[in-house]
Amino acid sequence: MANRYCSRHIPRPRSRYRVVPPTACVSEFFALVRGSGRDTAGPPACLDGVPPRAGPRDAQGSAHLRQGGPAVRQAGEADGRRPRHLPTAGASGKRRLLQPAFRPSHVAEYTDLVTEEADAVCRAWPDGQDIPVTEAMMALTTRVTSRVLLSDSLDDRTTAEVRDCLTAVVRGLFVRTIVPIDALFRLPTPANRRYRRALSRLHEIIDAAIAERRRGADHDDVLGTLLKAANGDGPTRAITDQEVHDHLITLLLTGVETQALTLAGAFSLLARNPQAERRLHAELDSLLAEGRRPGPEDLPHLVYTRCVVSETLRHSSPGWLFTRVATKETELGGCRLPEGATVLYSPHLLHHDPSSFPEPERFDPDRWLPGQPTAEQRRAMMPFSAGSRKCLGDEFAMVEATLALATIAGRRRLRHLPDRAERKQRPGITMGPRSLVMVCEPRTAGDHVVDNA
Ligand code: HEM
């Protein structure tokens, strides 16, 4: 019988949450990862345990569920020098410290640097050639994030090193999350050495950037804000030098790959959905005459472009699985959780539940046009998580992706390679087209009309 949940042989889940005792977590992760290998794309929908109507608010809103579990523990230990937890900005006022840099009012200031970098990336693409799209998007988002965090402290070569280190660290983190047996990762295998090398180089680069800034002039960037706080001159208690370092690492780990996969995912989905692509091109051609780069004043008018980003985040959310830990015995969706229970929740499953999003496999940016999404859909849409642990860079991420997409799609069209089957998406800490290669074609204003004829 045809599967109603998903067209790709993924069984419909009985629920969107799975509650597991701490000891079962490892095998749970194994089951999820192994299962996903069998499917053509996306993770397996084998989460159950809590009734389906336990909605996102239940999980995020519970006072007794904190950020935690294997993924968070490993990210916290990504330091490589000493184990400690990921600085959770929600705790102890750190969110108040970092949030202003990513507020909508501040985000407009980043417009120029995003479009400048996006323009440089796509201008370097030779017409008719194969382009490593994911790699290019990683280069773009590493440059943008490092400039937002550190202004121009990193030269081109060091920024490229940061990109490579992040790729290696994110990959290593996932393995360490699903196999939390520390002894295995102390073995001198090539993979372990690669991970350690990438991690310690990342720390060196950040330490050097902080030291250089302390010796030089102030800048109005995230590092500047953190150093003020370290000097006791911020809205929160004074933070330590180690916390300055930790925050920068966290922002790089959370803000670069997610964003690159979102952009690569958007280009891949657009190329498979010519009608959506034409609508996007029509909007860009009418707003950005003669290849003008978008500015902050264009943001409210890039309506369809933003819908493409939202629909990409719904359809192919880079954050597909997260964990929470019950701090005390509590209840979720009518199910009793013992203290210490790990709750896995999956934005991917919420986004692909046909009771919230009819025909969930269909890429349809119209779902997000003003006035279209229902309250249920808004609630079920959580690519940035929700509640007090929601992504700190969500608005920045939306603006960055909208502007980068507008800039690149205004100039170039990306096509899938002929006869190349879509590769399986194997989940990691994030999920998305990790090694997408497409062919680049030039664009001229109005070609969407010709295509339509
Ligand atoms: C499309 C891009 C992005 C997606 C899909 C995304 C998604 C997420 C999600 C789902 C979480 C919560 C994880 C959990 O529940 O455990 C998170 C946390 C976080 N994100 Fe993002 N993110 C994106 C971009 C960014 C950017 C650009 C930044 C900043 C430069 C950023 C900074 C953060 C930080 C600091 C946290 C941790 C918040 C905390 O611990 O309270 N993210 N992100």
- Could you please report the per-residue DSSP string of 326-348? ESSSEEETTEEE-TT-EEEE-HH
Cα–ligand 1 centroid distance for 254 (angstroms) = 5
Best residue for ligand 1 mutational test, from 256, 384, 429 (most atoms within 8 Å of Cβ): 384
**Distances in whole angstroms, Cα of residue 327 to Cα of each of 65, 66, 111, 252, 331:** 6, 7, 41, 28, 11
Nearest to 245 by CA among 259, 230, 232: 230
CA distances from residue 297 to 293, 306, 369, 370 in whole angstroms, order as listed: 11, 14, 19, 18
Is the distance from CB of 222 to CB of 149 less than 8 angstroms? yes
- Closest atom of ligand 1 to CA, residue 102: 29
Instruction: Give CA–CA dist 172/199, Å, rounded.
Output: 10
Contact 174, 429 (CB under 8 A): yes
Domain ranges of the chain: 17-452
Q: How many residues does the chain have?
A: 453
Whole-angstrom Cα distance, residue 366 to residue 360? 13
101 C-beta closer than 6 A to ligand 1: no
- pTM of structure: 0.84
- The dihedral formed by the CA atoms of 143, 146, 147 and 152, expressed in degrees to the nearest 10: -100
Regarding the beta carbon of 428 and ligand 1, being less than 6 Å apart is answered no
Cα dihedral 107, 110, 112, 116, rounded to 10, equals -130
Instruction: Retrieve residue 285's tokens.
Output: 């051609």
Asked if residue 56 lies in contact with residue 336, where contact means CB atoms within 8 angstroms, the answer is no
Q: What 8-state DSSP symbol labels residue 49?
A: B
Positive/negative CA dihedral, 254, 307, 415, 432: positive
Task: State whether the beta carbon of 87 lies less than 6 angstroms from ligand 1.
Answer: no
Rounded to an integer, what distance in angstroms lies between the CA atom of residue 192 and that of residue 168? 10
Q: What ranges in 68-218 are assigned the alpha helix state H? A: 70-76, 94-98, 104-107, 111-123, 133-150, 156-178, 182-186, 190-215
Strand duo 130-132 + 437-442: pairing = antiparallel
Q: What angle do CA 82, 174, 308 make, to 5 degrees?
A: 125
Any ligand 1 atom below 6 A from CB of 262: yes
Distance between CA atoms of residues 257 and 336, nearest Å: 36
What is the pLDDT at residue 201? 96
* Ligand 1 mean position, distance from CA 251 (Å): 8
Atom nearest to 261 CA in ligand 1: 1
Query: Which residue is listed with tokens 């202003």?
Result: 100
Q: What's the 4 CA to ligand 1 centre distance in angstroms?
A: 31
* Alpha carbon of 397 to ligand 1 centroid (Å): 9
DSSP 65: E
The atom number, within ligand 1, closest to the CA of 252 reads 30
Residue 65 has a pLDDT of 60
Q: What is the pLDDT of residue 309?
A: 98
Calculate how far, in angstroms, residue 449's C-alpha sits from the geometric centre of ligand 1.
38
Ligand 1 atom with the smallest distance to the CA of 87 is 40
Left if phi > 0, otherwise alpha if psi is -120 to 50, otherwise beta: which for 93? left
243-180-45 Cα angle (round to 5): 100
For the Cβ of 89 lying below 6 angstroms from any atom of ligand 1, the answer is yes
**What single DSSP character describes residue 385?**
-
| Crossing angle of the two packed helices 303-315 and 257-272, in degrees rounded to 10 | 100
Query: Ligand 1: does its nearest atom lie under 6 Å from the Cβ of 69?
Result: no
Between CA 191 and CA 189 the distance in angstroms is 5
pLDDT for 327 equals: 84
What pLDDT is stored for residue 93 in this prediction?
65
CA distance 280 to 209: 39
- How many Å lie between the centroid of ligand 1 and the Cα of residue 150? 18
Q: Is 88 in the pocket of ligand 1 (CB under 6 A)?
A: yes
pLDDT for the residue numbered 176: 83
Mutate to test the pocket of ligand 1, among 263, 350, 391 (most ligand atoms within 8 A of CB): 391
* Eight-class DSSP state of 435: T
Full pLDDT tens readout for the chain, 453 residues: 222 222 232 233 334 444 444 334 444 444 444 433 333 333 333 333 443 344 444 544 455 666 555 555 555 555 444 433 334 444 456 788 888 888 877 887 899 999 999 999 999 999 999 999 999 999 999 999 999 999 989 999 999 999 999 999 988 888 887 776 888 999 999 999 999 999 999 999 999 999 999 998 889 899 999 999 998 887 677 889 999 999 999 999 999 999 999 999 999 999 999 999 999 999 999 999 888 999 999 999 999 999 999 999 999 999 988 878 888 888 877 778 888 887 778 899 899 999 999 999 999 999 999 999 999 999 999 999 887 778 999 999 999 999 999 999 999 999 999 876 666 677 788 899 989 999 999 887 767 665 555
Q: What is the pLDDT of residue 25?
A: 42
Tokens 């990336």 sit at which residue? Answer: 121
Which segments of 256-392 does DSSP mark as H helices, in order? 257-272, 274-287, 303-315, 347-351, 375-380
| 67 CA: nearest ligand 1 atom | 16
Q: Which CATH architecture has domain 17-452?
A: Orthogonal Bundle (1.10)
> 141: Cβ below 6 Å to ligand 1?
no
Q: Read off the DSSP letter of residue 131.
A: E
Query: Quick one: pLDDT at residue 61?
Result: 47
Determine the 3-state secondary structure of 441 from DSSP. strand
User: What single-letter amino acid sits at 229?
Assistant: A
